[in-house]
Chains A and B, each alone.
Chain A
Amino acid sequence: MLSVRQQFPIFTHQPDLVWLDSASSTQKPRSVIETAQRFYEMGYSNIHRGLYPLSERATADFEATRDVVKRFINAGEREEVVFTTGTTQSINLVAAGLGKLLKAGDAVLITEMEHHANIVPWQLLVDKGIQVKSLYLADNGELLLDDLESQLTPDVKVFAFTAVSNALGTVNPVQQMIARVRAVRPDMIILVDAAQAIAHMPIDVQAWDCDFLAFSGHKLYGPTGVGVLYGKRTWLEALPPYMGGGDMIRTVTLEKTTFNDIPYKFEAGTPNIEGVLALAPAIAFVESLGWSAIMAHEQALLAQATQALQQIDGLRIIGTAAHKEAVVSFIVDGVHPSDMATLLGYEQICLRASHHCAQPVMQRYQVPATVRASFAAYNQSSDIEKLVAGVEMAVGMLR
């Protein structure tokens, strides 16, 4: 079997690349690239329409990916898997739909560690009289959960939170959190943002008992522009459509339209067909490695990076939760994160320096931005050695 890195053509074409920005987007294995290319070269057709074999084949492959996703996240039914353009659209779809079902005076509970994609869609409901409330963070980057139950006031109808913080790496105890919420508020509508979790830990939507779960293909070694919304059947049926167009209808007259069944009700227009097709090999890649191997590898990288970076004078790691994904966010005294990332870029070390689309987290820890190194299955020990050397070089140039 090929080594993990050998499966990623970019590391052949760019042998010196140190890719530490997987929390932003992962590189793609050859199987993903070839699936999209093969479709365009040998099997291209629209889906759900043509009666000719090429379209039937594309439709079958497209729908087969729905089964792959269903199995991957252990959804109860294939119809509970909706293809979207990504996490952002998945959450917006739910927020816009719930916005029509909720009443003025209702509230949505989020957390201080959310990505803007799980803040702003809810804030868009504020002019309907819906309030957005928040759970807060402790100094180490863990959610303050001691009084979780007391935050679930009767007005709170929705609890939307991330499984993993993109800016801090904190892994939330999703299953326990949901169990505690359900114990006092079985009717709570619960959405989990799994964008940062999906490539790094097993997800079981039935064990978690969430009503909705959102993730993107491109953080899962898959293509950009494709994502998933999982929703319990009852909720997907209750939600009004998000976008109108082809595929999502049953009958249309100039006066009235009746809508298709789920999941098609939410899949208006020609979808990102090659993106969905190439999501299947991305999941197959993860499954070929196995969760225990992926998690052990990434935790070893996290430990090595944390240990080595801490030796650097004036460097402070933001986010020191007991249970973290392989993400290290840090600042260095007297060094602006954007300067650090610019200089590291010249050493082919690709990482992120920003607020990570999580400005409330930056405000919480009173930093303008952080430098964030994030790791995935293809990273290796030498990547961290290069990172540490690069950080030391940049500090030397900037101080």
Chain B
Amino acid sequence: MDKPVNTPPKYDIQTTIEQLVERFAFFNDWKDRYQYLIDLGKKLPPFNETWQTEANQIHGCQSQVWLKIDYEDGRYYLRAKSEATIVAGMIALLLWVYNGRTKEEILTTPLDFLGKIGLMQHLSPSRANGLYNMIKHLHSHLN
């Protein structure tokens, strides 16, 4: 379990974002959007307890968040956990887009696709914003 299998993504990052946007276009109101996000959060792959280290912890979030980054064959594989379900759902979106990507793909793909799926407010650089801190953590890991 400590050595998970890393598989490169099936589609390129732009196609993946288009698929994500299309998936969310299906929802008419915030409740449906968030119910879907909650379901994604609940289905987030399990995060090994031994990975919950200080080095993997993202500070400045309202809930505890851990992000584990593995490098393999030029690609970065992400695993993460949050105690809050909506934050876990946001993590699922992050993994949906960025998991298994190269450094270039990650650094040149901003988070603004969140605006297209009606989750823009999760982008603000607030201390309460887990996603913002996660992306900062990811970028600083790459640089």
Contact = CB atoms under 8 A, between A and B. Distances in A.
A366 B73 CA distance: 43
A397 B41 CA distance: 12
Nearest to B122: A342
Q: How big is the B interface, by class?
A: 10 to 19
A178 B31 CA distance: 51
A79 interface: no
Interface stretch (B6-14, B84-92, B103-111): B84-92
Interface residues of A, number: 13
Which secondary structure dominates where chain B touches chain A?
A: helix
Given A343-B34, A346-B30, A398 B85 contact: yes
B10 to A, nearest CB: 31
Given A338-B62, A368-B64, A346 B34 contact: yes
B35 interface: yes
Interface string B21-59: 000000000110011001000000000000000000000
A369 interface: yes
Contact of B63 (A346, A368, A398): A368
B31 A336 contact: no
Contacts of A134: none
Contacts of B30: 346
A338 B34 contact: no
B83 interface: yes
A354 interface: yes
Contacts of A337: 62
Contacts of B83: 336, 368
Nearest to B42: A398
Given A353-B62, A354-B62, A336 B84 contact: yes
B64 A339 contact: no
Interface in A326-343: 336-339, 342-343
Contact of B62 (A343, A346, A369): A369
Top 4 A-B pairs, shortest CB-CB distance: A336-B84, A338-B62, A338-B84, A339-B86
Interface of A: 336-339, 342-343, 346, 353-354, 368-369, 397-398
24 contacts: A336-B63, A336-B83, A336-B85, A337-B62, A338-B62, A338-B84, A338-B86, A339-B86, A339-B87, A342-B86, A343-B34, A346-B30, A346-B31, A354-B62, A354-B128, A368-B63, A368-B64, A368-B83, A369-B62, A369-B63, A397-B35, A397-B38, A398-B38, A398-B85
